[in-house]
Chains A and B, each alone.
Chain A
């Protein structure tokens, strides 16, 4: 069952946000981990190679500049990736974007403030204990909103964030809605959209069912079935 956070609005119609569970959260984390690891490793390798070739500075100074130019930025990329990007991208990171999730404040459903984002990142120290984010993962499995300790502390929650797509609106006609009703017309439209991805038996069964509800006899032929459905929502 989907978990939903309801944010009250002045209109009286709650904003509903679908909570991302441990799966969606881990998926985003794994993508982010690869990005930050590869970025940090790339900086380190390129920097180390450059130093290996140049050797322009005396030993002591070389050590300091090597640390500041190669090691510190690599570590900064790795460890500051989440706090910096979450602040800059208002609750998102590239991994979260790819996974279709976003951080929001539990109070208003908006982007969390800088303070809240810093808090949830400080608490990574606890969530990552004893290793591999075991504490964090466990708490996401046990808490109502699937949050880790950092989120509890910051008052944030990770939710699915699919951008609204108006494609369906362009292909749904008032005539089809009048004929079939809003829900049926959309179901037929969605079935037609997914027609190539569905197995022949499955789509035939679904099409026959929808045609029966509309009081139309279902033909046996696959192409004819599709044509009938097209006709219904034309």
Chain B
């Protein structure tokens, strides 16, 4: 298990019997595999890089977000696992219950969060949506800041120094902006939208930056999740910080 998969998928171990643990273990293995294949690709620095890098990066975003949804709000993943376990499950058919970027990760902004008229169906449970921001991200981020203040563990980490300079109310706009941009940029390479040479869009500088941004995004989300009181399989605070620092280049 890599530092990134540990941070994202939490303290799950091979052979666990619970459904959630099994799903998280599967995603942890997938994430580690994606990382290692991606590093192999980068070390070769071949012409295939502009074609394959967006795919790897988008996959890392998707597996990470799905894992974090599983740890915060397991209902979605457990029900999806049930659907996928049915004999009627057909991979040639569109799965209505599949995890969607729009809806499960990002969502339209809520107009009035706590109106007495709002129905539970209208309360988005998107990972980076307004409700999760209020009930989970802000308290978890505050707990992280307090831990860093108490232990002085920011040290020489540029990523942590940047994090402690983000206001609690801005953490989700910050992550949402990073996530939307990274997802959109990587998707363009996966769907092959370009009718002009791909190398002018995915040049070395851009791919290098995109890689950096994606790893920073998912690592940061993973770090904060480990400080949430309502997430599953949390690492200890100290271990989460150690993993995060080890990921920072």
User: A and B: real partners?
Assistant: no
Please give the residue numbers on chain A whose beta carbons come within 8 Å of chain B beta carbons, in ascending order: none
